[in-house]
Amino acid sequence: MSDGFRKAESGSQLLARLEGRSSLKNLEPCLFADEGFPIHGDVVEFHGPEGTGKTEMLYHLIARCVLPKSGGGLEVEVMFIDTDYHFDMLRLVTILEHRLSQSTEEMIKQCLGRLFLVNCSSSTQLLLTLYSLENKFFAHPSLCIVILDSISAFYWIDRSNGGESFNIQEMNLKRCAEFLEKLVREHHLALFATTQTIMQKSSNSTESSIHLKLHCEADVEYRPYLCKSWQQMVTHRIFFSKQCNFNSSKTFSIVSCHTKKNHVIKCSFSVAECGVQF
Amino acid sequence: MVILRAGLCPGLTAEMIQLLKANGIATVVDLVSSDLEEVARKCSLSYKALVAVRRVLLAQFSAFPVNGADLYEELKSSTAILSTGSRSLDRLLDSGLYTGEVTELTGAPGSGKTQVCLSIAVSTSHDLKQNVLYVDSTGGFTASRLLQLAQTRTGDEEEQVEALQKIQVARVFDVYKMLDVLQELRCSVSQQVLSSSGPVKVLVVDSVSAVICPLLGGRQAEGLALMMQLARELKTLARELSMAVVVTNHVTRDGSSGHLKPALGRSWSFVPSTRVLLESREGTWGKASTRRIASLTKSSRQPTGIEVELDIGSCGVLEESPAASGEGR
């Protein structure tokens, strides 16, 4: 909120903001091209076509975050913003049950108590929800991860509502991206967002700029279609794809690119009953 | 884009709106995202009043976060798994149709999608005694076939009639009518207009591609926007009203690899949580066979690639019911 400048913060709010959030070390070393863990302020984009394991990877991250330290987790709180009713609670519970050594109802409820879910049905509602969530970040200092699945869900509806002008079409998403950036910066969060591959790869070579050359080197099919504000705030872009091996076991592979430092890391994983396995 | 108007929330008076409009603030989003100090100064309104209005508007128009544990409790009591009436199909779907999810049946013409839909409708209305809304956009729905299927479940005429009464049919031939039907369903539930035996538990849409395909193509985004709006309606109905939604879709051949893939493109492919492909292997069984192979192509709970065999003969895909005294296969 831009009127937060003069609004008096209470002592606890000030401490929460300045002290920094819990460290996210060891969240998932395989995913991050650099340091090995997301530092606060990182914006990670999961990009890939349907059926490539993006949502499974999100469940894996959520599990890693909400499990208690004794169960191998980080015991931090997660805010999950669901824009297309994708979230499957029963699947998450199955994964948690497999990862806890003694999975009682109490333990599961305790883990789930660290997860907050919001459903948004339009980009306008998403924007207003982000504004109203700001207070939640003040009140919960251990809330340091925001997951947005997915940020591209309103793309076609926005484009059709915006009439002829591209600016109006992108306006809502642009404002969301700008506000998210502000939230991430001020509250030291890490943001994970998924975008869907809904465009075909551009065969027009003049469209690819230097910005995309990195992706061409990394051999991924990527055609950016969201607004510039979003593209510029992403620090890590992770591409998901499916591979069919000869022994007919399905594995998924990811290519992780750090947008500023030009690092590329590849690894692969498979999905079992207990979730993602590297 | 909600426009500010008097009475939208307590404290928002007509004169306030006039002053705000004069300074370029016309919608809720404008008000919420602007610097209230500046606005108070420029419009000479009370800062306190503006903050209060902002808070109320946010509470009214934004979504509320729910705690994971509470949501889990709610889902445990409201999610149901509905058997499809065929053991092999149930095995494919991990014991049946889950409420809260959209399941898609894809296949070439003649692969049995409508037969499976009709079987699911009869199984739900007779065996599970739940209401079904069948939205038909292809003209493939016939009440006589439905009666035939009901007759294989029970020989008692009264029971047959009861089963058929639980199935409502809506014939739609364009996407706007389809959206209307779905909206009406939502309104009737929210106003608690109960039919004689309770809420609709299964929604069958046969088929989605018939109403959407004419809109796609060309450079306008409108067709895709309508498709995504329809997708959103279906998912909202599934989640909020705890229904199991079944949709059918055509297949096309992938340009590069030659594999069959569901029609309606990439954007639609993200919508269903489970997808089953129906095929007939003419090579092995000959053209007139009623046997089909159903394979799981997308699922969040089971590995893909599982295949089962179905027979869409006179019983649809329903299994022989011990109470039936009608004709066997």
Residue A107 pLDDT more than 50? Answer: yes
Q: Do A124 and B29 touch (CB under 8 A)?
A: yes
Q: Scanning every residue of chain B, which has its alpha carbon at the shortest distance from the alpha carbon of A7?
A: B37
Residue pLDDT, tens place only, A114-128? 999 999 988 889 999
Q: Do A93 and B71 touch (CB under 8 A)?
A: no
The pTM of this model reads 0.85
Residue pLDDT, tens place only, A195-226? 887 776 655 444 444 444 455 445 566 677 88
DSSP 8-class letter at A87: -
Residue pLDDT, tens place only, A140-191? 888 888 999 888 888 888 888 877 777 887 888 888 899 999 988 888 888 9
A209, containing H or E segment? none
pLDDT of amino acid B329: 34
Shortest Cα–Cα distance, B297 to chain A (Å): 9
CA atoms within 13 A on the CB side of B184: 9
Q: Do A159 and B225 touch (CB under 8 A)?
A: yes
Report the residue of B78, B234, B270 to disrupt the A interface, i.e. the one with the largest count of A CBs within 10 Å. B270
pLDDT of amino acid B179: 94
Task: Give the pLDDT mean for B7-23.
Answer: 81
Shortest Cα–Cα distance, A112 to chain B (Å): 5
Q: Do B300 and A91 touch (CB under 8 A)?
A: yes
- The average confidence (pLDDT) of chain B is 85
Interchain CB contact of B219 with A (< 8 Å): no
Evaluate whether A133 touches A182 at the Cβ level (below 8 Å). Answer: no
One DSSP character per residue, A238-274 reads EEEEEEE-TT--EEEEEEEEETTT--EEEEEEEEETT
Where do we find the tokens 């913060």?
A9
Residues of B within 8 A of A77 (CB-CB) are: none
Shortest Cα–Cα distance, B158 to chain A (Å): 39
Q: Cβ–Cβ contacts within 10 Å for residue A215, how many?
A: 21
Residues of B within 8 A of A157 (CB-CB) are: 225, 228-229, 232
Question: Within the 87-126 window of chain A, which residues sit less than 8 Å (CB to CB) from chain B?
Answer: 88-91, 93-94, 108-121, 124-125
Residues of B within 8 A of A226 (CB-CB) are: none
Q: Scanning every residue of chain A, which has its alpha carbon at the shortest distance from the alpha carbon of B236?
A: A85
Residue A69 pLDDT more than 90? Answer: no
Interchain CB contact of B58 with A (< 8 Å): yes
Evaluate whether B27 touches B2 at the Cβ level (below 8 Å). Answer: yes
Q: Specify burial of residue A242 (Cβ count, 10 A radius: 0-12, 13-18, 19+).
A: middle
For residues A133 and B63, what is the distance between their CA atoms, to the nearest angstrom?
A: 9
pLDDT of amino acid B16: 82
Question: Within the 186-215 window of chain A, which residues sit less than 8 Å (CB to CB) from chain B?
Answer: 196-199
Nearest to B270 among A50, A88, A114 (CB): A50
Interchain CB contact of B49 with A (< 8 Å): no
- Token readout for A11 is 């002592």
Residue pLDDT, tens place only, B50-63? 888 888 888 888 88
A4, containing H or E segment? none
Task: Give the pLDDT mean for A10-26.
Answer: 56
Evaluate whether B51 touches B59 at the Cβ level (below 8 Å). Answer: no
Residue B132 pLDDT more than 90? Answer: yes
Q: Do A196 and B266 touch (CB under 8 A)?
A: yes
For residues B220 and B65, what is the distance between their CA atoms, to the nearest angstrom?
A: 35
- Token readout for B303 is 């590995």
Question: Within the 102-131 window of chain B, which residues sit less than 8 Å (CB to CB) from chain A?
Answer: none
One DSSP character per residue, B232-251 reads HHHHHHHHHTT-EEEEEE-E
Between the CA of residue B145 and those of A201, A243, B153, B202, B317, what are the distances in Å?
46, 43, 13, 19, 13
Residue pLDDT, tens place only, B238-266? 998 899 999 999 998 877 777 788 888 88
Contacts of B108 (CB under 8 A, 6+ apart): B250, B251, B260, B279
pLDDT of amino acid B183: 92
Residues of B within 8 A of A198 (CB-CB) are: 265-267
Between the CA of residue B156 and those of B123, B151, B171, B318, what are the distances in Å?
16, 8, 29, 18
Interchain CB contact of B238 with A (< 8 Å): yes
The alpha carbons of chain B give a radius of gyration, in whole angstroms, of: 25
Helix axes B222-240, B175-190, angle to 10 degrees: 30
Nearest to B68 among A90, A115, A157 (CB): A115
One DSSP character per residue, B144-184 reads HHHHHHHHHH-S-HHHHHHHHHTEEEEE--SHHHHHHHHHH
Reply yes or no: is the peptide bond before residue B62 cis, omega within 30 of 0: no
The alpha carbons of chain A give a radius of gyration, in whole angstroms, of: 19
Q: Do A125 and B61 touch (CB under 8 A)?
A: yes
Task: Give the pLDDT mean for B290-299.
Answer: 87
